[in-house]
Amino acid sequence: MDPFQQLIYSQRPDVQGHPANDWWQLWGANELRNRLAQLGRVDVLQHVGGDNNLLRDWYTLWGSQEYPNIWNEQPKQQQGLDTQYAAGGVESAPSIPQFENVLPWEKVQQQWLPSMTAVGQQYALPEVQRQLNKDMQEYMMGMASAGGGRFGSAWGGTGALQSAAQRQGTEMTQDYITGQMNALKGLWYDPTRSEYQRPREPGMSDYGAKVSRSGYDVSTASDANLVMSSAFKTLKLVKIVDMTGETTVAHGLGFIPTFIFLRATKAGEWRMNNPGYSEGMLSTIYVDDTNVYRLTTGVSVGAYVMLFTDRLDE
Amino acid sequence: MSDFGFKISEVGVDVNAAGAKDLVVSSQFDTLKVKVSGTLTDSLPSETIAAGNNKSYTETVAHGLTGMPFYWPEIHDSFNNAYAGTSDFIVNDGAFIEPPIGPYSPWTSGEWCEVFIDSTNLTLRTNRLGHPLMGTTFGAHDVIYYYTIFFNRMDEEVDYS
């Protein structure tokens, strides 16, 4: 039985009893396209386009390997961010791009399939043709020896022999492709993927992130040429508070934060951390683990205080 | 799109449980982002300023940002002890020098510098004050301030907590 027919009858019992190819052309191909769309297999849909025969080949050769029974396959629900973060191994997930992103196995197969098919046919078809010639000769000889009256009807039997040879050629070609693909995956793709991924799977004891300035290689850039590195703390601004006049503001951080302030002079000039001694006034700004305070003598001038999440007292 | 970001904790701290103070970086908070580093220079002549008189020299750089951005280092009243000489004075070096007090206070005589910002410029101003009772001679030299201006605006309340 034709491999496609065998597959479709086993995976779709409802088709049994109907000509598989007719059902495929009328209904099956469109059903599979819908299923592929539900499964998000844009790669397959783009590859086969509107060609039902190409889709049938994909289903027979690859779909049957990728899915136990694609007709029963349920689309995966998109997981929430919390669920994704909670998944095991996320903390040690390799940094992108992963090998599968750079070179998907499906893409390798797509690109190799035409040449492998051609080679497989070169290997299989002459063998099949030789067998067909032999079978035809034996059949015709048999019919001829059975009597001239039967010779005319013998041509009908040759069609069956040719169909059988065609199926055998297809099977041999597919066997060849499957073997070659498995060899390619086992001998090249998987080992290459493994080596590619290995340096991207750091141990938990040595990991982090850094970003270099434009024009600098992040792997060799000096600390001064890094925009950010997880080896160092970065001041993280959490609040800017208007502290005009003598006032107290609760910062709500629960620890003594690093702070910087900008204060106006009597003349309206804004200066960083200027307590105002030079113009005869005292403008003290300080923090504890609860509040930001401003004590001031003289005129009430403006001030803004930047508060950072970084502690001052440790 | 309403709930995303990234954060990195310090070594040894679980990023999922880390408080803000234990994070190396977090997209919840703002960080200081450098816009430009540069130099402001007041080129001062040799001169004698009469008793009780004063002169000021200013140099500005347009920061090109909205509002008043954060700048560094802070300079308030940087006093040049060697105002009579010809050596350049780096304002940054004198940023935290306690000025002398009494009749020789820099606010009554001598040379002292201020840095301040407004919504347009960062300004370096050098003040030369003659002694209240006698003329004061100043040397020709440059007064130099090395600055960094950040993109972060300071004159606007924010709360990322």
pLDDT digits (tens, 9 = 90+) for B31-40: 888 899 999 9
Same domain, A306 and A249: yes
Closest Cα in chain A, distance from residue B139 (Å): 24
Task: Inform me whether the C-beta atom of residue B68 falls under 8 Å from chain A C-beta atoms.
Answer: yes
**Which amino acid type is present at position A299?**
V
**Range scoring the smallest mean pLDDT among A279-283, B113-117, B118-122:** A279-283
Position A45 scores a pLDDT of 86
From A237, A278, A311, residue closest to B77, measured CB to CB = A278
Residue B99 has pLDDT above 70, yes or no: no
Joined together, the tokens standing for residue A220 give 């060799």
Residue A94 included in any domain: no
Contact A296, A246 (CB under 8 A): yes
Contact A144, A152 (CB under 8 A): no
Smallest CA–CA distance from A209 into chain B, residue: B8
Angle at A53 between CA A52 and CA A59, to 5 degrees: 90
Among B113, B155, B156, most A C-beta atoms within 10 A, so best to mutate, is B155
**Count of A-B CB contacts under 8 Å:** 114
Q: Collect all residues from A whose CB is shorter than 8 A from any CB in B.
A: 81, 85, 208-209, 228, 230-242, 252-253, 255, 260, 262, 265, 269-275, 277-278, 304, 306, 309-311
The shortest C-alpha distance from B143 to chain A (Å) reads: 18
Binary contact (B8, A310; C-beta < 8 A)? no
Domain end among A42, A61, A88: A88
Q: Among all residues of chain B, which has the CA nearest to that of A272?
A: B74
Looking at residue B91, its pLDDT comes to 87
Chain A nearest CA to B25, separation (Å): 6
**DSSP tag of B97:** P
Domain that holds residue A260: 237-311
| Of the partner residues B8, B31, B74, the one whose CB lies closest to the CB of residue A230 | B8
Q: How confident is the model at residue B1 (pLDDT cuts 50, 70, 90)?
A: very low
CB contact under 8 A, B160 and A237: yes
Residue-level pLDDT at B42: 95
Residues pairing with B40 in the sheet: B145
Residue ranges of the domains in chain B?
1-30, 32-153
Question: Would you say residue A223 lies in a domain?
Answer: no
At residue B65 the predicted structure's pLDDT band, cuts being 50, 70 and 90, is very high
In a domain, A134, yes or no: yes
The predicted structure's pLDDT at residue A147: 64
The answer to whether residue B3 neighbours chain A at the CB level (below 8 Å) is yes
Q: Is A237's CB within 8 Å of B32's CB? A: yes
Task: With a cut of 90, say whether residue B63 has pLDDT above it.
Answer: yes
A-chain CB neighbours of B157 within 8 Å are 239-242, 304
- The DSSP annotation for A123-170 comes to HHHHHHHHHHHHHHHHHHHHHHHH-HHHHTTHHHHHHHHHHHHHHHHH
- Encoded tokens for A104: 């998907």
Read off the pLDDT band of B105 (50, 70, 90).
low
Given A67, A88, A109, which residue is the final one in a domain?
A: A88
In chain B, which residue's Cα lies nearest the Cα of A255? B21
Q: Into how many domains does chain A fold?
A: 3
- Encode chain A (314 residues) as per-residue pLDDT tens digits: 788 999 999 999 988 888 888 899 888 998 898 888 888 888 888 888 888 888 999 999 888 888 889 988 887 665 555 666 666 665 555 555 678 888 888 888 888 888 888 888 888 888 888 888 888 888 878 877 776 555 556 566 777 888 888 888 888 888 888 888 889 988 999 888 888 876 655 544 456 788 888 888 888 888 888 888 877 778 889 999 998 888 899 999 888 888 888 888 777 788 887 766 655 666 678 888 899 988 877 667 888 999 998 887 77
- A55: Cβ–Cβ under 8 A, 6 or more apart, which residues? A29, A32, A33, A44, A48
pLDDT for the residue numbered A148: 53
Closest Cβ–Cβ partner in B68, B157, B159 for A270: B68
In the predicted model, is pLDDT for residue B30 greater than 60? yes
In this complex, which of A238, A274, A311 lies closest to B161 when CB atoms are compared? A238
Task: Tell me which residue in A208, A231, A311 faces B21 most closely, judged by beta carbons.
Answer: A311
The residues, ordered by sequence, that sit 6+ positions from A242 with a Cβ below 8 Å of its Cβ are A302, A303, A304, B157
Contact B71 A272 (CB under 8 A): yes
Question: Chain A residue closest to B155 (CA)?
Answer: A304
Is A245 among the domain residues? yes
What distance in Å separates the CA atoms of residue A217 and residue A225, rounded to the nearest whole number? 9
ipTM over 0.95: no
State whether A70 and A115 are in the same domain: no
What per-residue confidence (pLDDT) applies to B126? 93
- Interacting residues of B114 by C-beta distance below 8 A, sequence separation 6+: A269, A271, A278, B75, B76, B77, B78, B124, B125, B127
pLDDT at B56 over 90: yes
Which sign, positive or negative, has the C-alpha torsion A266, A270, A274, A275? positive
CA distances from A206 to A85, A93, A199, A202, A230 (A): 20, 13, 12, 7, 11
**What is the per-residue pLDDT for A204?**
45
Residue A225 is assigned to a structural domain of this protein: no
Chain A contact for B117 (CB, 8 A cutoff):
yes
Answer yes or no: is A209 within a domain: no
What pLDDT score does A115 carry?
87
pTM for the model: 0.54
Closest alpha carbon within chain A to B105: A278
- Would you say residue A120 lies in a domain? yes
| Domain termination site, one of A29, A54, A88 | A88
Tokens 């000096």 sit on residue:
A222
Long-range contacts formed by A207-211: CB under 8 A, 24+ apart:
A208/B8, A208/B11, A209/B8
B140 touches chain A (CB under 8 A): no
Q: Is the pLDDT of residue B145 over 90?
A: yes
On whether both A109 and A193 belong to a single domain, the answer is yes
From chain B, the residues in CB contact with A230 under 8 A are 8, 24-25
B23 touches chain A (CB under 8 A): yes
Q: Distance between CA atoms of A8 and A18, rounded to whole angstroms?
A: 11
**Mean per-residue pLDDT over chain B, rounded:** 85
**Amino acid A273: pLDDT:** 76
Residue B41: is its pLDDT beyond 70? Answer: yes
**Residue B47, pLDDT score:** 96
- Shared domain for A73 and A111, answered yes or no, is no
Residue A266: how many CA atoms within 13 Å on its side-chain side? 11
* CA–CA separation, A167 and A2 (whole Å): 6
Q: Does residue A218 form part of some domain?
A: no
CB pair distance less than 8 Å for B161 and A253: yes
- The pLDDT value recorded for residue B103 is 45
Mean pLDDT of B103-131: 82
